Chains A and B, each alone.
Chain A
Amino acid sequence: MSKLLGWYAAFLYAFLHVPLLILIAFSFNSSRFSVWEGASFTWYRAMLNDTQMAEAAWHSVIIAVFSSLLATAIGTAAAYGMWKHKAPLLQGSLYLTLVTPEIVMGISLLALFQWIFRWMPFRLGLGTVIIAHVAFSIAYVAIVITARLRTMDPALEEAALDLGASEWAAFRRVTLPLLAPAMGAAALLALVVSFDDYVITSMVAGVDSETLPMVIYAMARRGVNPVLNAVSSVTVVFFGALILLSERVRAQ
């Protein structure tokens, strides 16, 4: 039985990982067809020469960094606020945010922004994308921080309060340092979720805020393109390394 299970597990792991490995492998294929014709960096060079892609990648980075920072701050604060005392409405709405289909979040935010823009002189752009990303990332951060807070002894803070510290001081000097690693993990989660998002971003992005997933999607729609393999490989390897590195750091 165990042996069968072992074989099965191996097969399933292959199913999960082989498509990506093949994608990466063929990004080095000199031919644009699915027949191996020798190794080459052609597509990587083409990718680097693509200014539109470079600009989109830059936008993705800016959006991910800003939204991750904001979401981590807001989400941590919310999780802390909900820690010792219930806030059922907020908690319920955060749950709801998590399970709301992305497309519904996207169109509802689009409807909001277009309505606001009737009275205010703004338009869809980096700002609207960042707002949208923060909106859906808060819930993720809150979950991570809440999980960490569950294992934290409230007596620590109480001791500080007993010794005369203000609530804020107790938070800042006792709880916050203990939360720091979890906040790092949450920030990383928010970063990746933001960088990879397509559905919501595509609804609220403007002319000058095209992101990397949007460029990738447009190319994927046109059919298979080896430059896409190159972009995918870079993204996969980069974030894979980032995650493994952060796990390494956390384990220490």
Chain B
Amino acid sequence: MNLRRWFLLPARAMQVLFFAVPLGIVVVLSVLTRGDYGGAEQPWSSESYRRLFDPLYGLILWRSIWIAALATALCVLLGFPLALYISRAQKYRSLLLQLVILPFWTSFLIRTYAWLFLLRDTGLVNTALLKLGVIHQPLPLLYNDGAVLLGLVYGYLPFMVLPIYAALERMDPSLAEAAADLGAKPLSIVLRVIAPLASAGVLAGSLLVFIPCLGAYLTPDLMGGGRTVMVGNLVQNQFTTARDWPFGSAVSLALMAITALMLALFLRRAPAESP
């Protein structure tokens, strides 16, 4: 017993000192007032929370949820067939999986930059289309919600594919065979037999995609051109250039609350599935 306590001590200390305490400080900050030139000071005030309900910021939160949900849905639509393909592959399965995981090992920042390089007005896509005469003026492919969505899907697709694959792999193949024997068409088999059984994987993947997308910062910043302000950008902004720590703290806690809620819902639905 003693040894076990010692083993747990460093992790517990780290979690308390560098996770719980910082969040506690953020809570305290959220009920203070902003100093004239930054920082936080007395008096105590709930103004930051009141500002949260300002329709302007509610709009940002709603927009972030919408974009994150859309990105998650796209990941499911795009990722499920791929996971299905890998789970059915006879050979090279491990290689196929590695090819999905490989982008994950690449820096997210670099992967986002790759799209900047492709999509800007004088980037490869526009240059190619112009040369082919398909368009006569560069398309504004960057600095809009669509670009942000693309960046998010590209970045988090592997997180969706892997859990779905794991669920599909565990599935009994004879179920699909039985359905085929009974005369069901392939698409119907996928939709009515396979998909429901893989739902646990879809749920896990959705959690792994939705939450980071909700708090995304880099993608809307680089690919949205500072125009698509999502919750992550708002928080970062308040703690740097806007120097409004109390308000930034309130927004962070709201974001955390939503995140924790999602996690709780997920754990209730699928307690055995850990990421």
Q: A and B touching (C-beta < 8 Å)?
A: yes
* CB-CB nearest in chain B for A110: B239
CA distance A70 to B53 in the complex (A): 42
Known A77-B10, A138-B14, A220-B222: A103·B109 in contact at CB below 8 Å: no
A112 and B18 in contact, given A101-B215, A107-B252, A224-B120 (Cβ under 8 angstroms): yes
Taking CB atoms and an 8 Å cut-off, the chain B residues in 63-116 that contact chain A are 78, 81-82, 84-86, 88, 96, 98-100, 102-103, 105-116
B44 at the interface (CB under 8 A from A): no
Interface status of B248 (Cβ within 8 A of chain A):
yes
Taking the complex as formed, is A160 at the interface, i.e. its CB lies under 8 A from any CB of chain B? no
Instruction: Tell me if A94 and B114 are in contact (CB < 8 A).
Output: no
**Interface residues of chain A: helix, strand, loop or mixed (majority):** helix
Name the interface residues of B242-268: CB closer than 8 Å to any CB of A.
245, 248-249, 252, 255-256, 259-260, 262-263
> Is B217 close to A, CB under 8 A?
yes
Assess whether B232 is in contact with A103, with CB atoms less than 8 Å apart. yes
Residue picked from A15, A17, A100, most chain B C-beta under 10 Å: A100
Q: A9: which of B15, B82, B235, B255 is its contact (CB, 8 Å)?
A: B82
Instruction: Indicate if the CB atoms of B29 and A34 lie closer than 8 Å.
Output: no
Main secondary structure of the interface of B (DSSP, over half): helix
Known: A19-B111, A101-B255, A235-B110. A224 touches B215 (CB 8 A): no
How many angstroms from the CA of A226 to the CA of B112 in the assembled complex?
Answer: 15
The segment from A46-54, A81-89, A119-127, A179-187 found at the interface with B is A81-89
Q: Is B275 an interface residue (CB 8 A)?
A: yes
* B114-A19 in contact (CB<8A): yes
Residue B135 CB within 8 A of the other chain: no
Determine the chain A residues whose CB is within 8 A of the CB of B22 once the complex forms: 105, 108-109, 111-112
Q: Are B21 and A243 in touch, CB under 8 angstroms?
A: no
How many A-B contacts if CB must be within 8 Å?
A: 236
Asked whether A112 and B25 contact (CB < 8 A) given A5-B85, A103-B232, A229-B117, the answer is yes
On whether A213 and B123 interact (CB within 8 A), knowing A22-B118, A87-B8, A111-B245, the answer reads: no
Could you say which of B10, B19, B81, B98 contacts A74, with CB atoms under 8 Å apart?
Answer: B10
Contact with A along B1-38 (1 / 0, CB 8 A): 01111011011101100111111011001000000000
Task: Give B110's nearest chain A residue, CB to CB.
Answer: A232
State the CA gap A105–B232 with chains docked (Å).
Answer: 11
A80, B7: Cβ atoms under 8 Å? yes
Instruction: Flag whether A198 is at the interface (Cβ < 8 A).
Output: yes
Contact A15 B263 (CB under 8 A): no
Residue interface bits A166-198, CB-to-B below 8 A is 1, else 0: 011001000000000000000000001001101
Interface residues of B (CB under 8 A from A): 2-5, 7-8, 10-12, 14-15, 18-23, 25-26, 29, 78, 81-82, 84-86, 88, 96, 98-100, 102-103, 105-118, 120, 122-124, 127, 154, 157-158, 186-187, 207, 211-212, 214-215, 217-218, 222, 232, 235-236, 239, 245, 248-249, 252, 255-256, 259-260, 262-263, 274-275
Closest 9 A/B residue pairs (Cβ): A101-B215, A78-B11, A108-B22, A81-B7, A81-B8, A1-B186, A196-B107, A19-B114, A112-B22
Interfacial residues, chain A to chain B (CB-CB below 8 A): 1-2, 5-6, 8-9, 12-13, 15-17, 19-20, 22-23, 26, 33-35, 73-75, 77-78, 80-82, 85, 87, 90, 93-112, 115, 131-132, 134-135, 138, 142-143, 167-168, 171, 192, 195-196, 198-199, 203, 213, 216-217, 220-221, 223-224, 228-229, 232, 235-236, 239-240, 243-244, 247
